[in-house]
């Protein structure tokens, strides 16, 4: 059992990396363009965090590793906003492809939004998979919901896993566990009432008021978004009331507020005491853009088992070969009895 190394691209605050670190990997190098996110990452991780445009990073400065991680930017693919094939954010994965091709890790992992599957009538995901395949990888992707993996949140995402062809992985699927649901009541237990400065108090837009934004304590949360103004309501808020098609109003009899950034981070399964850097908008952005830590840990544990089995198998084969060679050499050194003659009577 050894510690496998990881390099993280588009790392953000490090939800994906934290989950992999918990599962037995060690993130040794990470990169993001967001200065606040890099500072947050540096605060908890052991990685060397390089802040800047990945397109301008000298690839020779990126260390070799067993695995490369990367939740490449997904805003251009998102169902919650404009979906343009030529969105500049949609080509950032090409830097990921370039680095995977050069560094040739055993495995790479990507994460993206559900909208990627239907973008360009499915041609975008096909192109992405084809490019990674041409780098020498068997590539698999799967749509999963974070709520099935102990994350108290409805969050559908695509996980892309590529295995270097010499690993000979021809089938791969992330198994969905049974009875692993966690409610908001469990996730937010023991958290104090937040300070007003930790809660987005921006006006609620007509878009926000077009649908229900609140779920109850014994349910999972709606998706935690990256935009502070779109963060959903704290479960202790009064229920919203439907007035008509695409029109709701806030309920009476209590305080209506959004999740605080700390509550949003807990829903994303970050440690409750983890400090995020930057202003309030930046904190919400880092949290909403992250891969839930618990989901990342589950995926990482599954991949760690595969790598460990492969390594043990290779080590066993090598030791067996060495033992056979040793035995062969030993037999070769023994004196032969074939030349002995039977004594004459």
- Name the H helices within 53-149: 93-103, 123-134
d(C-alpha 326, C-alpha 328), whole Å = 5
pLDDT at 341: 45
Per the CB < 8 A criterion, the answer to whether 232 and 216 are in contact is: no
Per the CB < 8 A criterion, the answer to whether 208 and 230 are in contact is: yes
d(C-alpha 30, C-alpha 44), whole Å = 13
pLDDT at 344: 44
What is the band of 276 on the pLDDT scale with cuts at 50, 70, 90? very high
Per the CB < 8 A criterion, the answer to whether 337 and 57 are in contact is: no
pLDDT of residue 81 exceeding 60, the answer is no
Could you tell me which residues come within 8 angstroms of residue 30 by beta carbon, excluding any fewer than 6 positions away?
Answer: 7, 8, 9, 11, 14, 17, 38, 41, 45, 47, 48, 49, 50
Instruction: Determine the average pLDDT of the residues in 187-199.
Output: 97
Q: How many other C-beta atoms lie within 10 A of the C-beta of residue 162?
A: 27
Cβ-count burial of 48 within 10 angstroms (0-12 exposed, 13-18 middle, 19+ buried)?
middle
Domains of the chain in sequence order: 4-178+292-318 (3.40.50.150), 183-291 (3.90.120.10)
pLDDT at 118: 87
pLDDT at 140: 97
Could you tell me which residues come within 8 angstroms of residue 10 by beta carbon, excluding any fewer than 6 positions away?
Answer: 31, 32, 54, 70, 71, 72, 73, 92, 96
Rg of the chain (C-alpha set): 26
pLDDT of residue 319 exceeding 90, the answer is no
Instruction: Determine the average pLDDT of the residues in 309-337.
Output: 54
pLDDT at 97: 92
Phi-psi region at 14: left, alpha or beta (left = phi > 0; alpha = psi -120 to 50): left
pLDDT at 94: 86
Q: What is the DSSP letter of 243?
A: E
Q: What is the pLDDT of residues 120-173, one digit of tens each?
A: 788 888 888 999 999 999 999 999 999 999 999 999 999 999 999 999 999 999
Residues 224, 161, 51: CA angle, nearest 5 degrees: 60
Helix (H, G, I), strand (E, B) or coil at 49: strand
Two structure tokens written together for 115 = 């909208």
Tell me the residue ranges of DSSP E strands in 13-95. 25-32, 48-51, 67-70
pLDDT of residue 104 exceeding 90, the answer is yes
pLDDT at 115: 87
Q: Which of 160-169, 261-270, 326-335 has the lowest mean pLDDT?
A: 326-335
Rounded to the nearest 10 degrees, what angle do helices 293-333 and 15-22 cross at? 40
Q: What is the pLDDT of residues 16-45, one digit of tens each?
A: 999 999 999 999 999 999 999 999 999 999
Q: What is the pLDDT of residues 86-100, one digit of tens each?
A: 555 556 888 999 999
Instruction: Determine the average pLDDT of the residues in 290-315.
Output: 88
pLDDT at 127: 86
pLDDT averaged over every residue in the chain: 89
**Active site residues per annotation:** 74
Helix (H, G, I), strand (E, B) or coil at 138: strand
d(C-alpha 109, C-alpha 103), whole Å = 14
What is the band of 179 on the pLDDT scale with cuts at 50, 70, 90? confident
Q: What is the pLDDT of residues 195-232, one digit of tens each?
A: 999 999 999 999 999 999 999 999 999 999 999 999 99
């Amino acid at each position: 059992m050894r510690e496998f190394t990881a390099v993280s691209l588009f790392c953000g605050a490090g939800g994906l990396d934290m989950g992999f670190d918990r599962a037995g990997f060690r993130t040794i190098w990470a990169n993001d363009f967001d200065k606040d996110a890099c500072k947050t990452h540096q605060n908890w991780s052991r990685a060397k965090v390089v802040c800047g445009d990945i397109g301008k990073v000298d690839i020779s400065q990126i260390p070799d590793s067993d695995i490369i991680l990367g939740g490449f930017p997904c805003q251009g693919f998102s169902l919650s906003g404009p979906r343009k094939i030529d969105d500049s954010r949609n080509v950032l994965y090409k830097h990921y492809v370039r680095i995977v091709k050069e560094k040739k890790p055993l495995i790479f992992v990507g994460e993206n939004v559900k909208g990627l599957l239907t973008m360009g009538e499915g041609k975008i995901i096909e192109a992405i998979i084809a490019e990674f395949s041409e780098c020498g990888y068997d590539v698999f992707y799967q749509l999963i919901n974070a709520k099935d993996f102990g994350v108290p949140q409805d969050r559908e995402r695509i996980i892309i896993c590529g295995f270097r062809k010499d690993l000979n992985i021809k089938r791969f699927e992330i198994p969905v566990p049974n009875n692993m649901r966690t409610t908001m009541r469990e996730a937010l237990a023991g958290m104090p009432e937040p300070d007003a400065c930790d809660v987005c108090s921006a006006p609620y837009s007509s878009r926000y008021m077009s649908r229900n934004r609140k779920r109850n304590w014994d349910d999972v949360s709606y998706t935690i978004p990256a935009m502070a103004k779109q963060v959903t309501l704290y479960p202790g808020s009064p229920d919203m009331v439907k007035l008509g098609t695409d029109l709701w109003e806030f309920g009476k009899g209590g305080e209506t507020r959004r999740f605080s950034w700390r509550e949003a981070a807990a829903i994303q399964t970050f440690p409750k005491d983890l400090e995020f850097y930057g202003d309030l908008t930046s904190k919400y952005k880092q949290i909403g853009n992250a891969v839930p830590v618990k989901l990342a840990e589950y995926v990482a544990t599954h991949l760690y088992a595969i790598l460990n089995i492969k390594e043990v198998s290779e080590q066993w084969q090598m030791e067996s070969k060495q033992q056979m060679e040793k035995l062969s050499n030993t037999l070769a050194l023994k004196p032969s009895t074939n030349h002995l003659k039977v004594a004459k009577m």
